[in-house]
Structure 1
Amino acid sequence: MSELTKMQFPEGYQCQYKEKVMKLANMIGRKKADAVPGGEGSYQWDDPEYVCLEAGISDEMAEVALCLGSFEKKTVPQVAEMMGKSAEYCREVLMDLAVYGACKVGTLNGEDVFWTETWIPGHMEMIVNNAENIKKYPVVAYAMEAYGRVRGGGSVGSFPVGVGLMRVIPIQSAIDGSSRKADYEEISKYVEENTIFCVSDCSCRTDREVMGEGCGHLKEDMCIQMGTAAEYYIRTGRARQITKDEVYEILQRAEENGLMHEIPNADGPGKTHAICNCCGCGCLSIRTATMFKNVDMIRSNYVAKIDPEKCTACGQCVENCPVNALKLGQKLCSSTPIVEDITSTSTPRDEEWPEEKWNVEYRVNRENVVDSGTSPCKTKCPAHIGVQGYVKLASQGKYQEALELIKKENPFPAVCGRICNRSCEQACTRGELDNPVAIDDIKKFIAEQELDPAKRVIPKKRHDYHDKKIAIIGAGPAGLSCAYYLALDGYTITVFEKEKRLGGMLTLGIPAFRLEKDVVEAEIEFIKEMGVEFRTGIEVGKDVTLDQLRQDGYDAFYAAIGAQGGRKLGIDGEDAEGVLTGIEFLKGINSGNCLDLTGRTVVIGGGNVAVDVARAAVRCNSDSVSMHCLEGRDIMPASEEEILEAEEEGIQLCNGWGPKRILTENGHVTAVEFKKCLSVFDEKHRFAPQYDEEDCVVVPADQVIITVGQSIQWGNLLDGSDAERNPNQTIKADGFTYQSGEPDLFTGGDCYTGPKFAIDAITAGKQAAISIHRYVHPGQSLVYGRDRRQYKELDKKAAILEDYDHTPRQKPDHAKGDRLHSFRDYRGTLTEEQVQRETSRCLGCGVTKVDEYMCLGCGQCTTKCKFDAIHLERVYDAEGVEFTQMPPVVLKHVKKRMERIAQKKREEPQKEGTRES
């Protein structure tokens, strides 16, 4: 027996050998009546079926339970007669058994009856759903988790479609209007047939939580019981009674949050006693499909089908598929092979399925993209926004829906529409033909509606976790992004910002001619309207410490202080009057302290910030501005667009020169001596500049602005914590979860990566929000069931692009004015007519592919698609059977499967021979 097929136990657990409890386990499991406990034909002492009973049942209790038999309803008098004991004693023990979960209790003809059922769906869930059991006997959670894992391999391929113990029921909106649907495929049928309902915690997610392996989908109020099951759950304190309207509210909330519906499938055709709202990363039933590829055991009669003409590869269906049956691929034709069909050809239907074929790591190895890649724009965007999707929505005039799609990943579309580094455009396939699609300009147009408070739509909160308090330290793009996504989940959020103004470097570090501050303020106002509290002028570590915040009830922290300090060069003269850092200069301007730079200004640096500084210097009345950097013109870090704008404004670019010293007179700068840079990087592309010390030039200067990087200023924030820093002062943290060495402190943005772009910080903020959500709830893993968002772009060079719209790239008109003497942003926005022209230029590179074998037919994908591109199609006609009628059905199916396996084995040598010949 491998470790995979063994029961795991919590640390310190000791097995007790209770013979009558073992007999009870054998009876429930329908073992032979004369099976010797622990011997052949019996469960073993470390089997989950025995362990889940042993924890809370004595031999005396088991003796009473043994009188019930299997699936036989007995009254108290009947049991008392069999036991030869008083009815009072038997009633008390039977109720104890029912409360524990080892039997059920209900009423028949006005009299209490007790009976035993299956393990799952049945006693194991009932035992785990008793909150007191979990507190007293956490081993029962381990037992339920182990049941499907230990027994799952033996059931692979054994159940025909529709006959498994659990069954997926499609989200009803996904099959409404289907001419072939049957009433047992509609979730409303089961609700309308009942009058009494209750809701309990999800037993699967309870298991995961107890084991510390939760997936972030929480357990509370997830499982709905109906009819006699509801009566039992309510009577034994497992659940709270709810109304029919509340049932529908829970189902809708589950669907909105990416969950799917399952029902216990052993009550008989078209019958059930419960509705589960499940996730593929936590549910032990869906594990049957994801780990063992035993999809037929739980699938619905439906399979998802894609209309490639409508699909935009936005990725929403892929990210929400519970079993990773959907992946992004390529729509364009190609001269090299591409993945067209991902439907599994190797399945348990006609193959033996040993352990080496199991997907044991299914909770961490999801794949979003087929091997041959997908849309370059989505791939290269750090946030992996569904670019192709929002471009298509904009082409249809659905601007609000386009905005919603963008904000799945980026809550600052108006900001990014102005300052993004446009990695999506740099990767755009259209750029291989003429010019990339003007993605950022389209986004800027879409985001304009959010700047108008009258058009602003505050999103519905996904959850309500207001009792959990989170502190965000830093109100830059990373901190604001984290605040947005945590607010969306209903947390109580406070953002602490040491400056008087919010926005971090968006406000203080970027000049208004690139990003006017009313745009930043408008998008921050949106976050305020979501209930986030902002406290400015407070430096955490100085005015208040992390420990003090913990005492105030904060459950977790997000440190996103950015890199708001300038860096010096370490050369002679840089402390002279007239020398300042670029960050210092820009902060002064954005704080309203615009310097008069009359005379000659030398800017040292070649990145985007250096360009911003140089252009700002022009607007501060400098007579001349020159930029000096190590890199050649072709490898300057600044974007081409910004370099061209600088040149248009008369800024002189001096490439290939590094500062040697700053010359001074009477303590004031007079000039800078530069030396020729021969190379910037070594053979491994590490920064290692080489100079010709003899080839020097002296450049006169009245002021020098050093813009060669930024520094991180932690102050006392991390004092007394276990968080560590790297030599460059970035904080050490896990690259996936963003958790630092101090467990409740998460981080992201420039203080983690060093200076990068706003979209990188925004991305980090969202991912940290996911981690913080998991951290503040007990038993949740920071990694299980989490999308690693690994994307791969298609081969653009091989794409066949013969028939496409030849419309040239649209450019917005700029406002007229003297831009050299104003900090106003004169850049315009595309008109609606231009947006329609520009969106027509998109080649629609990507498309979603479906593994039709792996698809459960849950319909979750259809609820996320904004393009009517994915539908459920009924391809099976299977209905469930009652548990006691399953054995002959299963045996018949197993026999046919064995025949198929044998036939396939006989055919394989012939195929091999054909290939050899």
Structure 2
Amino acid sequence: MTKERVLDLANKISRVKRGSRSEITTADPEYKILAPIMTDEMAEAVLCLELKQPKSAAEVAELCGKDLATTEALLWRSAEVGAAFVNEIDGVDKYWLDIWVPGHMEMIVNNKELIAQYPELGAAFDEYGKKKGPMAAGNIPVGAGPMRVIPIERAIDGDTRSASFEEVSKYLNDNSVFSLSDCACRASREAIGEGCGHLKEDMCIQMGHAAEYYIRTGRGKPITKEQAIEVIKRAEANGLMHQIPNLDGSGKTHAICNCCGCGCFAMRLANMWRNPDMVRSNYQVQIDEANCVACGECVEACPTNALRLGKKLCKSSESKKPDFEHPFDVDWGPDKWNPEYRTNKEVVEGEGTSPCKAECPAHIGIQGYIKLAAQGRYQEALELIKKENPLPAVCGRICPRKCESDCTRGDIDDPIAIDEIKKFIAEQDLNADNRFLPTIKNRYDKPIAIIGSGPAGLSCAYFLAIEGYPVTVFEKQPVLGGMLTLGIPSYRLEKEVINAEIDVLKTLGVEFKTGVEVGKDLSLAELKELGFAAFYLAIGAQKGRMLNLEGEDATGVESGVDFLREVNLGQREQLKGDTIVIGGGNVAIDVARSAARLGADQVSIYCLESRQSMPAHESEVEEAIDEEVAIFNEWGPTRILTRDGNVTGVEFQRCLSTFDDQGRFNPTFDANQRIEVAADNVILSVGQAMDWGELLADTKMELNRNQTLIVDPTTFQSGQEEIFSGGDIVTGPNFAIDAIAQGKEGAISIHRFVQHGQSLVIGRVQRNYTSFNKQELHLSGYDRAPRQQISHADGKTSRTTFKDLRGTFTAEQVQKETERCLGCGVVVADPYMCVGCGACTMKCRFDAVSLVKNFDAEGVELKQVKKVIIKHALKRKLNITVNKPIRKIKSLLTSRS
């Protein structure tokens, strides 16, 4: 049933009359936000109030014909719910009305009890913005919008700094009363289940009369100026930006909001309707291409997607860019909007960016840490790496180097030795005195359980710990590290390196429990009963595959995975006699080289693939050959030869091809070409499999045909909503860096899942980095400086020890190698979409991003704003009318050409 007096109030706050063309009806958000929280009797009292004209309860009682006590109660209750402002003025409580935004909408949703009881209040605030946003596009000049971005002050230090009304410190210094409240926009988003992962709590600062109101009505807690400054610093450290209510007049405001581009309703004006003029500061971004290293930190921090990664090197022919359109110049309808801006943020220009950034599964800012290393800023380089990869020392030894495989420098001579530079930088993390320890952002009381301590599990634990969660890692083996420890020999990855990087996680508060098999010793349901709010499964592919060959069960035949596990646990004795390893991947190489170190007389690898198409890394193959491991290509086993239950050899047949015309694994053989090879030991290294045990019992999780877990490809959420996963049990056997990247994404999802009202996808950066087409580049005229090389022990020496004898670059070599980098990526800015917040400048370590003052607009007082907007809107209308025929002619000429 319609509350008539409440509907009258909605029209009064909107400054329209019932019955007019623009009247507010029961279908409008202005009524919907009042209806659940207001009675008609409350509305009768509030209808006697006026916009920004304080009145006492006695004055209102006389106007509305109610006794003073009743009027006081009705007005106070209205102020509590947010339908009226209240302040003590000259010793008397006085009440008044404000505008909807910034005003009553925020006041209503910031009442914690109301928004919890009536989530439709958040929906109404959201709907109000969607109703008003299209009307404003192009019609409000810079400086006259209801909200205004205030640059991060450090971003405008120096010559560009000119006006105090664009400095946060000015507003803090002008006030003495402060309060701290939740973010109203994010509270609304959360209420309707569309949170972006940026949480609402303790984010917005009120000052002066607004602070008094917020404190007295319980919306905010009182804070000091010093505490307000700390909130500002915390917001900036977390990548947030500042905005102020902008209709109090130039240099005046009653609040400082700390906003994100994916949650803020004011920033939606810039993002959804592509109308940044309505909220922008006087500043716009400027990129110094000479200093930019395309690390991407600023790109992912930008709240309006005004920055993207592109290419710095010239291409053969410049593409023609389309004419830029602005809402002041053309009609600005739905065809110009971006309604999906919360899920379609682009990180790369259409032409692509540097291959090293794009091809790295974790998308580390490789150009960035190379430049930092070149400048001797090793600790900062380490910090940059660990924003994406918490195990740099591990990866410096075992990474597949996808970044190097596609490095632009490789088209000139040899690719940059990226992995060796990273290894040098990461050596600092092995020394407890030099370790980089990230700052823990928050403190949450929602425990998270990680099942498995391999690269995916460790990565997820690391990023959750930084976010502020208590994390416990359960590992069924007696040692930590998963396949890093049990599947990779020490001559490639010494256990001290793994343990040193795990020690960082322990310092961050991550708890580890070894010798606990979840699914056997404890079920997931039992862990949930113990209070764990979410789970991350990262048990890896720790089971070796067999081929179901005749004789496979003979003594002396085993899987490569089991063999390496025993070697790494110190449970393996010396091997005697000749050993055959079947398989052509990295595990087969590791098995063969380990067998040689255990004393096997002759070690031979037999695989289906040709020498050129072996999946093992080329450098690993060469080192195996140097250690006198014999490799026989294009042979497939047909049966294991045995005598009295013991292996005596293997029968092979010639492999003619490995894949069919569709690229599917489908080997063909010549059965007429067979050989028998004698052996005392046969180790099958033909793949890895999952050992699920009872882990999935009584859950809704499902498996693919290959026994990998079915998860959402973006969020890594399984069929059991509180369980997320990553690594080999999702992808099948893969590289550590891929698992590390998925661990971070799992941590992002878990944070969102355990926090009320957060979406797993909204506001999430998809990180769809793509490489540019190197064929379009001019690569002539560059130096031919040789790639630096690390020292290697000869095979006869290296095969006698499990110690890693590979060298590390010297500082001098790092300097020489970093100079070979072409710096082929760069940040590309769209100045129009930039709102001048300065968040990008806080991320840049190279003085490549700055703000430049391009406007000179000041805030407008509410009573003057209508006149300013009408004047601007009329000028816009004339501008569009004049430009229409010109644009039509240009369009015709362009289509003909």
Alignment of 1:374 onto 2:359: no
2: CA distance, partners of 1:196 / 1:178: 32
In the other structure, the counterpart of 1:728 is: 706
Within 5 Å, which residues of 2 pair with 1:96-135? 96-135=77-116
Counterpart for residue 29 of structure 1: 14
What residue in structure 1 maps to residue 627 of structure 2?
649
Of 239, 258, 269, which residue of structure 1 is paired with 2:250? Answer: 269
Q: 1:397 aligns with which of 330, 352, 376?
A: 376
- Given the alignment of the two structures, is residue 209 of structure 1 paired with residue 194 of structure 2, yes or no? no
| Contact 1:158–1:890 (CA under 8 A) maintained in structure 2 | yes
Find the residue that maps to 2:433 and give its secondary structure.
helix
- Identity rate, percent: 56
TM-score between both structures, scaled by the size of structure 1? 0.96
**Aligned with 1:196 (options 177, 186, 198):** 177
The yes-or-no answer on 1:444 pairing with 2:429 is: no
After TM superposition, the structure 1 = structure 2 runs for residues 876-915 of structure 1, keeping only pairs within 5 Å, are 876-912=855-891, 914=893
Q: Classify the secondary structure of the residue corresponding to 2:654.
A: strand
Taking structure 2 as the reference length, the TM-score comes to 0.98
Cα offset, 1:799, TM superposition: 1.4
Partner in structure 2 of residue 79 of structure 1: 60
Amino acid paired to 1:329: G
In the alignment, which residue of structure 1 is the partner of 2:241? 260
- 2:525 aligns to what? 547
Which amino acid letter does the alignment assign opposite residue 609 of structure 1?
V
Distance (Å, rounded) in 2 between the aligned partners of 1:699 and 1:595: 24
SS for the counterpart of 1:61 is helix
Alpha-carbon distance in 2 for matches of 1:489, 1:746: 17
Map of 2:35 onto structure 1 = 54
Deviations 1:893-913 (A, max 9, x none): 001111111111021233356
Residues 49 and 96, structure 2, Cα contact 8 Å, conserved in 1: yes
Amino acid at match of 1:517: K
Aligned pairs for 1:244-643 (under 5 A) are: 244-337=225-318, 345-465=324-444, 467-643=445-621
Q: 1:746 aligns with which of 724, 727, 747?
A: 724
Aligned counterparts of 1:99 and 1:678: Cα–Cα separation in 2: 81
For 2:666, the aligned partner's letter is A
Shift of 1:152: 0.7
CA distance in 2, matches of 1:263, 1:719: 53
The answer for the alignment partner of 1:838 in structure 2 is 817
Deviation, structure 1 residue 178? 3.1
Contact 2:120 2:192 in 1 (8 A): no
Please give the secondary structure, in 1, of the residue aligned with 2:47.
helix
The question of whether the paired residues in 2 share the 8 Å contact of 1:420 and 1:440 is answered with yes
| Aligned residue number for residue 140 of structure 2 | 159
Where does residue 4 of structure 1 map in the other structure? none
Matched, 1:715 2:681: no
Could you say which residue in structure 2 is the equivalent of 1:786?
Answer: 764
Task: Give 1:689 shift.
Answer: 1.1
Equivalent-residue separation in structure 2 for 1:889 and 1:306 (angstroms) = 33
- Distance in 2 (alpha carbons) for counterparts of 1:813 and 1:95: 79
Q: Which residue of 1 aligns with 2:648?
A: 670
For residues 608 and 280 of structure 1, what CA distance do their matches in structure 2 show?
Answer: 44
Aligned counterparts of 2:568 and 2:9: Cα–Cα separation in 1:
76
- Between the aligned partners of 1:41 and 1:698, the Cα distance in structure 2 is 91
Q: Which region of structure 1 is more displaced relative to structure 2, 63-72 or 401-410? A: 63-72
Secondary structure in 2 matching 1:53: coil
Q: Which residue of 2 aligns with 1:822?
A: 801
**Conserved in 1, the CA contact under 8 Å of 2:160 and 2:853?**
no
The match for 1:137 is: 118
CA displacement at 1:726 relative to structure 2 = 1.6
Alignment partners' CA distance in 2, 1:626 and 1:756: 24
Deviation at 1:133, TM superposition (A): 1.1
Corresponding position of 1:700:
678
Amino acid at match of 2:12: M
1:871 matches 2:884: no
The CA deviation at 1:480 is: 0.3
Equivalences for 1:169-188 in 2 at 5 Å? 169-188=150-169
Does structure 1 retain, via aligned residues, the 8 Å contact 2:160–2:852? no
CA offsets 1:470-519 (integer angstroms, 9 cap, x no match) = 00000001000000000001100000000010000111100011001100
Structure 2 counterpart of 1:511, one-letter code: P
In structure 1, runs of 5+ residues without a counterpart are: 1-15
Change in Cα spacing, 1:114 to 1:832, as seen in structure 2 (3 Å) is same
SS of 1:821's equivalent in the other structure is coil
User: What do you get for the CA RMSD once the two structures are aligned?
Assistant: 1.3
Contact 1:306 / 1:871 at 8 angstroms: preserved in 2? yes
Describe the SS at the equivalent of 2:370: helix
Instruction: Name the SS for the 1:214 alignment partner.
Output: coil
* Ranges in structure 2 where 5+ consecutive residues have no aligned partner: none
Partner of 1:225: 206
Deviations 1:841-870 (A, max 9, x none): 000000001000000100000000011110
**Aligned-partner SS, 1:538:** coil
Q: Distance in 2 between matches of 1:126 and 1:451?
A: 52
Return the alpha-carbon distance in structure 1 between the equivalents of residues 746 and 888 of structure 2. 53
Task: Kindly provide the CA deviation profile for residues 681-738 of structure 1, in whole angstroms up to 9, marking residues without a partner as x.
Answer: 1111111111122221111111100000011111111110111112221111111100
Secondary structure class of the residue paired with 2:266: coil
Structure-2 separation of matches of 1:156 and 1:214: 25
State whether residues 382 and 436 of structure 2, in contact with CA within 8 Å, keep that contact through their aligned partners in structure 1.
no
How far did 1:914 drift?
4.9
Whole-angstrom distance in 2 between the partners of 1:206 and 1:658: 62
Q: Which amino acid aligns with 2:4?
A: E
- Residue 806 of structure 1 deviates from its aligned partner by 2.4
AA paired with 2:63? M
In the alignment, the residues of structure 2 paired with residue 337 and residue 758 of structure 1 have an alpha-carbon distance, to the nearest angstrom, of 39
Match for residue 10 of structure 1? Answer: none
**Helix, strand or coil: the match of 1:454?**
coil
Alpha-carbon separation, structure 1, partners of 2:347 and 2:527: 39
Give CA-to-partner distance per residue, 1:238-258, whole Å, 9 cap, x none. Answer: 111111111011111111111
2:509 alignment partner AA: G
1:542 Cα deviation from its structure 2 partner? 0.8
CA contact (8 A) 1:419 1:514 kept: yes
Return the offset for 1:346.
1.8
Query: What's 2:149 paired with?
Result: 168
Equivalent position amino acid for 2:459 in 1: S
C-alpha distance after superposition, 1:608-644 (max 9, x if no partner): 1111111111111111111111111111101111111
Cα drift, residue 93 of structure 1: 0.5
Give SS of 1:633's match.
coil
Q: 1:690 to 1:814 in 2, by over 3 A?
A: closer
- Whether the 8 Å contact between 1:513 and 1:826 is mirrored in structure 2 is yes
Contact 1:338 1:372 in 2 (8 A): no
Q: Once the 2 structures are TM-superposed, how far is the Cα of residue 442 of structure 1 from its aligned partner?
A: 0.2
Cα distance in 2 for partners of 1:650, 1:137 equals: 74
Distance 2:773 2:135 in 1: 43
Partner of 1:68: helix, strand, or coil? coil
Task: Report deviation, 1:59.
Answer: 1.2
> Could you tell me whether the CA contact under 8 Å between 1:673 and 1:696 is conserved in 2?
yes
Alpha-carbon distance in 1 for matches of 2:229, 2:780: 50
